[in-house]
A and B are shown apart, each in its own frame.
Chain A
Amino acid sequence: MASTDTQRAQTIEEIEPFEAAEEINGGDVVLIDTREPHEYQEAHLDGGKLVPPGLLAEEIASAAPDKAARTILYCRSGNRSAIAAAQLQQLGYENVASMSGGILQWQEQGLPVVSPSGMTPEQRERYSRHTLLPEVGVDGQVKLLNAKVLLLGAGGLGAPTALYLAAAGVGTIGLVDDDVVDASNLQRQVIHNTERIGMAKTASARIFIEGLNPDVKVVEHNGRLDASNILDVISDYDIVVDGADNFPTRYLLNDASVRLRKPVVSASILGFDGQISTFVPFEGPCYRCLYPTPPPAELAPSCSANGVLGVMAGTMGTLQANEVIKLILGKGNPLVGRLLLYEALGTSFTELKVRRDPDCPICGENAEEIPESEMGKFPDYDAFCAGAGGDRQSIA
């Protein structure tokens, strides 16, 4: 068999990639890719028609109907195309050439290929378990790579969310947090570590994310969100993930996100309990439809005061990441109009219906646009903030 191949190769014309490129640019060339479909999918020459070696006899007539036309064949490294060129000559093709070195040498010489996915070979490898899923595929992975997601809080919920969104290849991850890593965070905030105690959480998160996945662009918002800057900050993002630890920020985010029509994936944790819902403005209820007003400060303990099982942050944060990915892909049924409760001691999930409130002051039928200074305010806001010690308006 090997000697036959060699004889065939000796009888056919072989051209270098740069010669092929000149001919292709000159036009009037039929270009045939003699590889397998999955290789063609990854990258091929512009204008190359796929005719796998095993289907050459059946498919060549439709791909190259004119046996007198100049026909250039290529494969990965030049072997399969040389064999195919000899076969075509036997079939009566008069002007056939095989490109030596194949697409590998073509690319080594810096010549362009068509990569339908827009993904690099490294990305195709990294995300192969995603692209194998029909619900994701190459198109879905490209959507993830192009997506911009803002995480409010790089702490308990933000850490696992950031971890899985970064691993999934979400192309831009913004992080809002004005806190520094503390030893007491490390029981649940898995993207930070002992060495980085004292470092800004956004900087620590950047180190983790960039180490995990160089495809992700990290944007640090090392500060506080308030009514004067929230519209600017969230307008750059497709989706916001709410892991804030205080009510004023949650209401502020709600009001700003409804105005800018940004979906918000919202979760909270306390002790062994977690809640999660997805708020898509005007498609489903908003945070204020669910909670028109927060409980008084003394009934709204924080994790720092009450404690939280560390893995609760992981459970709820990864559920948030799942919601974000579904929203980006446009697949499945996100938690729009549904509130999912998780109770870890009993390992039980409960789903509640959440309706749009026609009288909602932010997204209701008669809601009027409020001035920015009023965004995030709720009934008894001043009393609430005073009761909370006045320092709960930040994301900490």
Chain B
Amino acid sequence: MATVRIPPVLRPKTGGQAEVEVGGGNVGEVLRSLTGDYPDTQDQLFGEDGELNRYVNVYLNDEDVRVLQGLDTAVKDGDTVVILPAMAGGAA
């Protein structure tokens, strides 16, 4: 099982949970387990073509999966997958 860290904007789709435990042998499988358990996250993570939306950054532990093997990057038990969209809150 891997731990997926859910960003604030997605927490309404995961029942308010900031972290969820899901299975999967690589990053793509982990994220699809997540969207299986919490279907409302599907549209926000993946486009209609099944690819990860480009405004969503995904990290395996502390490394961006874009510099690893993307969705094919292997995930071990106990790894953390961080989903990170940009935030712009600041001044208002």
Count residues of chain A with CB under 8 A from any CB of chain B. 53
In the complex, the answer to whether A270 meets B62 with C-beta atoms within 8 Å is no
Q: Which of A155, A290, A292, A293 contacts B92 (CB 8 A)?
A: A155
Contact B88 A350, beta carbon cutoff 8 Å: no
Q: Which of A267, A299, A353, A354 contacts B90 (CB 8 A)?
A: A267
Contacts of B25 in A (CB 8 A): none
Q: How far is the CB of B69 from chain A (nearest CB, A)?
A: 15
Do residues A154 and B87 form an inter-chain contact, with CB atoms below 8 A?
no
In the complex the two chains form, is A395's CB within 8 Å of B63's CB?
no
Q: Please tell me which one of the listed residues B63, B67, B87, B92 contacts residue A300 in the complex, with CB atoms under 8 A apart.
A: B87
With a cutoff of 8 Å between Cβ atoms, the chain B residues found around residue A293 in the complex are: 54-55
B82 to chain A, nearest CB (A): 7
B18 on the A face (CB < 8 A): yes
Knowing A294-B55, A295-B9, A350-B82, say if A155 contacts B18 (CB, 8 Å).
no
Residue of B nearest to A312 (CB): B89
Contact A300 B86, beta carbon cutoff 8 Å:
yes
* CB of B39 closer than 8 Å to a CB of A: no
Q: How large is the interface on B (under 10, 10 to 19, 20 to 34, 35 or more residues)?
A: 20 to 34
- From the candidates A158, A292, A294, A341, name the one contacting B88 in the complex (CB within 8 A): A294
Pick from A154, A299, A355: contact of B9, CB under 8 Å: A299
**B64 lies within 8 A of chain A by Cβ:** yes
Scan B44-79; emit 1 where CB is below 8 A from any A CB, else 0.
100000000111110100111001000000000000
- What residues of chain B lie closer than 8 Å to A355, measured between beta carbons? 64, 67
Contact between B87 and A354, CB atoms less than 8 A apart: no
Q: Tell whether, in the assembled complex, residue A245 and residue B91 are in contact, meaning their CB atoms are under 8 Å apart.
A: yes
Q: Which residues of A contact B67 (CB under 8 A)?
A: 355
Known contacts A270-B8, A396-B91: A299-B64 contact under CB 8 Å: no
Alpha-carbon distance A294/B55, docked complex (angstroms): 5
The reply to whether B9 and A243 form a contact with Cβ atoms under 8 Å apart is no
> Known interface pairs A352-B82, A355-B67. Does A300 touch B88 (Cβ–Cβ under 8 Å)?
yes
Pair A245/B90 contact, Cβ less than 8 Å: yes
Q: Are B92 and A157 in contact (CB under 8 A)?
A: no
Is A303 interfacial (CB-CB < 8 Å)? yes
Residues of A with C-beta under 8 A to B64: 352-355
A-B contacts, 13 listed (Cβ < 8 Å): A157-B90, A245-B88, A247-B88, A268-B86, A268-B87, A291-B86, A292-B54, A294-B88, A301-B9, A353-B59, A353-B64, A355-B67, A379-B54
Interface residues of A (CB under 8 A from B): 152-158, 177, 179, 242-247, 250, 267-273, 275, 290-296, 299-304, 306, 308, 339, 341, 343, 345-346, 350-355, 379, 395-396
Beyond A179-B92, A291-B57, 14 additional pairs, beta carbon < 8 A? A153-B90, A156-B90, A157-B90, A158-B91, A250-B88, A292-B54, A293-B55, A295-B55, A300-B88, A351-B62, A352-B84, A353-B63, A354-B64, A379-B54
B residues lining the A interface (CB < 8 Å): 5, 7-9, 18, 44, 53-57, 59, 62-64, 67, 82, 84-92
